Structure 1
Amino acid sequence: MSQDSLDDAYANATYIPGAAEYPPRWTKEARAFRDNLRENDQIIEDFPYGEGAREVFDLMMPETPAMGLAVFVHGGYWLRFDKSVWSHLAAGLLARGWAVAMPSYDLCPSVRIRDITRQITLAVTEAAAHVAGPILLAGHSAGGHLVARMACENVLPTNIANRLKHVMPISPLSDLRPLMQTAMNDDFNMDEAAAMAESPIFKKPLSVPVTVWVGEDERPAFLDQAMWLAEAWECGHVVEQGKHHFDVIDGLTDPDSLLTQMLIGGDIA
């Protein structure tokens, strides 16, 4: 397959009506959500987990004592965005009584994907030191890849891995080898060995519940990526009807959505 055809296969915005409107809307909703949390003293912003400027997370606390910690890792092909765009996605989990940490991380090409995996390991570990109880991990797209990496053996410290209750890669990238044949690899700078080393499908997962979630209307490449991970790990696999790559995460804003309820592992209404 030619590079041009794989560039198209992994192009999401081209196939989503009104795609350009999503990032500014996310940013506006996230800012308003943080403003509200700040007024109620429910957020600690820019909590450091490393020494770099982007090695920080926001920690959002529920109104009642936290039932545990949820960590959401954003996507953007490891190339764009930061934690500030996604704060509103904590709404469903906060309403259910979970603390939520959202980290930023360095972006390619200034770092490699393996470096971002290391940063998320540090972020989860640091956040877990400040919130007791079980840990939920969710991430979208490249963030789905990163939380899947957290569910691989020998990534998280044992004491943190033992607290994992559920890991949910949403629209994840699970086999990075096809991305070598896209123009994005000019920034990723991956060869096959690096791609395989960071591909969750080639890793042994921890003994923790994993549910791969993807939208029915996503690009075939992302439907494949989700299926490959579910098959490799023999784990849960949900294809949500009527959702594409940009709105598949919307359920996280709603405490009663199937997405939020399944992430927590509670009863489905």
Structure 2
Amino acid sequence: MSASRITDWDKAYSNTIYIPEGPDYPAKWEVAASAFRDEMRDAGRLREDISYGPHTRNRYDLFLPKAGARGLVVFVHGGFWMAFDKSAWSHLAAGPLAHGYAVAVPSYILTPEARVSDITRQIGAAIAAAAREIDGPLYIAGHSAGGHLVSRMTTATSPLQPDLAARLRKTVSISGLHDLRPLLNTEMNETLRLDIAEAHAESVALLEPLDGIDITCWVGADERPEFLRQNRLLENLWSSFNIEISSVEEAGRHHFDVIEGLADPDHRLVRTLLGV
């Protein structure tokens, strides 16, 4: 049986109204993140607001493990490229930190001030800046729009320089948006300002991957059908390339709690990201 034709694209990409107590999650993230930053600051393991560009939002926080870092993890937040900053996600650094990895969490200029293609370049610059601070292998993860941005780093038109891309060991796109063309049909495109040319150029699923990358697309099994489709899409289209690619649908998770595994050192999400 064929899938039903989508006629309401805004509804297809809406999350909050379909999640129990959905509107409460941003406040919960802020509380958890603030408490974690206080803990790390008191321990002398937090470097805050490190600049990677001229704008006030071109800043990242760097969380340090207890001993010398084994490598670097970068987490890129979501919000449909229009919302949030680094301050709501600090607690998600806990899982990789426990395994001895430094974790960078950047902010970026949001739409409509920036275009999606501008944000891609910002994230490339943020990763490069953090990688100059921390030696060793690089692991990147992002959620929703952040999932798009980290998977975009793995494409043939990545803003990462070849020497930095060579350090990349694993990418995990969590609830990532890999085909941006459907967003042209949404009201939020008044803010995103995507046109068909940019949607093509920035859609990871329409690009070729860098040779030899290792990427996992991860989604909550209880997410909206469009996010499940977007998650499967990249594995479907990239499976013939010389890369390692897999997809996971995590049971019992929705769009807002699927990221919580990053805070747990023993969670499968962390272990997948770090290869432990």
Deviation at 1:2, TM superposition (A): 9.5
* Counterpart-to-counterpart distance in 2, 1:107 and 1:55: 11
Q: What is the TM-score normalised by the length of structure 2?
A: 0.95
Deviation at 1:252, TM superposition (A): 0.4
Secondary structure in 2 matching 1:67: coil
Deviations 1:160-202 (A, max 9, x none): 0000000000000000000000001101111111101000011
Question: 154, 157, 176: which is aligned to 1:151?
Answer: 154
Question: 165, 168, 173: which is aligned to 1:169?
Answer: 173
* Counterpart-to-counterpart distance in 2, 1:188 and 1:20: 22
Q: Where does residue 253 of structure 2 map in the other structure?
A: 243
Maintained 8 Å contact 1:2/1:181? no
* Counterpart-to-counterpart distance in 2, 1:184 and 1:208: 32
Question: 224, 227, 252: which is aligned to 1:222?
Answer: 227
Deviations 1:63-106 (A, max 9, x none): 01111000000000001000000000000010111000000001
* Counterpart-to-counterpart distance in 1, 2:156 and 2:136: 21
Deviation at 1:4, TM superposition (A): 6.4
* Counterpart-to-counterpart distance in 2, 1:93 and 1:177: 33
Within-5 A mapping of 1:1-269 = 5-155=8-158, 156-206=160-210, 207-234=212-239, 235-266=245-276
Maintained 8 Å contact 1:49/1:56? yes
Deviations 1:16-36 (A, max 9, x none): 000011100100000000001
Maintained 8 Å contact 2:6/2:12? no
* Counterpart-to-counterpart distance in 2, 1:8 and 1:244: 16
Amino acid across the alignment from 1:217: D
* Counterpart-to-counterpart distance in 2, 1:83 and 1:170: 17
Maintained 8 Å contact 1:3/1:182? no
Deviations 1:103-153 (A, max 9, x none): 000111111000000000000000000100000000000000000011112
* Counterpart-to-counterpart distance in 2, 1:30 and 1:233: 35
Deviation at 1:154, TM superposition (A): 3.5
Secondary structure in 2 matching 1:250: helix
Secondary structure in 1 matching 2:78: coil
Q: What is the TM-score normalised by the length of structure 1?
A: 0.97
* Counterpart-to-counterpart distance in 2, 1:161 and 1:30: 29
Deviation at 1:254, TM superposition (A): 0.3
Taking only aligned residues, the RMSD between alpha carbons, in angstroms, comes to 1.2
1:239 to 1:3, Cα distance in 2 relative to 1, 3 A: closer
Deviation at 1:253, TM superposition (A): 0.5
Structure 1 segments unaligned to the other structure (5+ residues): none
Deviation at 1:61, TM superposition (A): 0.3
* Counterpart-to-counterpart distance in 1, 2:246 and 2:193: 32
Maintained 8 Å contact 1:30/1:87? yes
